[in-house]
């Protein structure tokens, strides 16, 4: 049923996907099938993310993260961290996104495929700064004071994220 939920989500049949994943979790026993329960919660997190239900998505990703951590299942941990990084990036919560990218990368050193996914997200974070700098330049040329101020605040957030993660950055 979890695989069905994933297929339904891919086909954008989100209500049916949510029902399949929820039913799968409900019928799985508490002991002996923890990995499947973890996968079910990760699937629900992805479904809720796609449905723009951020808090529900985070809730299910965190449950999956706790289960995967208790099992020591590194590939699942990496996938969950990548999913959370993607969600937080879309929500412009760059500190959180970067923290999950770093968690994924640190666990994926021996998995080139998952490491590539984590690195792709890191590249997106870096691209966000480049695009924001271009927007700032345009806003300044047009004298759009409020947009300039908001964009500078966003750049400050990007810089705090970079400094906090040892990347060093300046936009002035």
92 part of a folded domain: yes
Name the residue among 48, 10, 42, 12 with its Cα closest to residue 24.
42
Domain that holds residue 100: 2-126
Q: 128 versus 24: which is more confidently predicted?
A: 24
Tokens of 36: 């499947």
Determine, yes or no, domain membership for 152.
Answer: no
For the chain, what is the mean pLDDT? 88
The whole model's pTM is what? 0.75
For the segment 73-120, what is each residue's pLDDT rounded down to a tens digit?
A: 999 999 999 999 989 988 878 888 889 999 999 898 888 888 888 888
Show the 3-state SS of the chain. Answer: CHHHHHHHHHCCCHHHHHHHHHHHHHHCCCCCCHHHHHHHHHHHHHHHHHCCCHHHHHHHHHHHHHHHHHHCCHHHHHHHHHHHHHHHHHCCCHHHHHHHHHHHHHHCCCCHHHHHHHHHHHHHHHHHHHHHHHHHHHHHHHCCHHHHHHHHHHHHHHHHHHHHCCCCCCCC
Mean local confidence (pLDDT), 163-167: 49
pLDDT digits (tens, 9 = 90+) for 51-77: 999 999 999 999 999 999 999 999 999
- Look at residue 36 and tell me if it is in a domain: yes
- For residue 133, is it within any domain? no
CATH number of the domain within which 73 lies: 1.25.40.10
Residue 155 inside a domain? The answer is: no
Total domain count for the chain? 1
């Amino acid at each position: 049923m979890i695989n069905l939920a994933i297929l339904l989500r891919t086909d954008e049949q989100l209500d049916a996907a949510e029902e399949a994943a929820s039913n799968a979790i409900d019928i799985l026993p508490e002991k002996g099938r923890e990995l499947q329960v973890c996968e079910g919660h990760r699937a629900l997190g992805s479904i809720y993310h796609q449905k723009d239900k951020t808090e529900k998505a985070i809730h299910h990703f965190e449950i999956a993260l706790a289960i995967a951590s208790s099992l020591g299942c590194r590939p699942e941990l990496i996938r969950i961290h990548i999913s959370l990084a993607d969600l937080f990036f879309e929500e412009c919560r760059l500190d959180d996104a970067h923290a999950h990218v770093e968690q994924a990368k640190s666990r994926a050193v021996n998995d080139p495929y998952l490491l590539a996914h984590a690195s792709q997200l890191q590249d997106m974070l870096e691209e966000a700064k480049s695009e924001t700098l271009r927007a700032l330049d345009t806003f300044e040329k047009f004298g759009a004071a409020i947009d300039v101020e908001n964009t500078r605040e966003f750049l400050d957030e990007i810089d705090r994220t970079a400094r906090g993660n040892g990347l060093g950055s300046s936009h002035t």
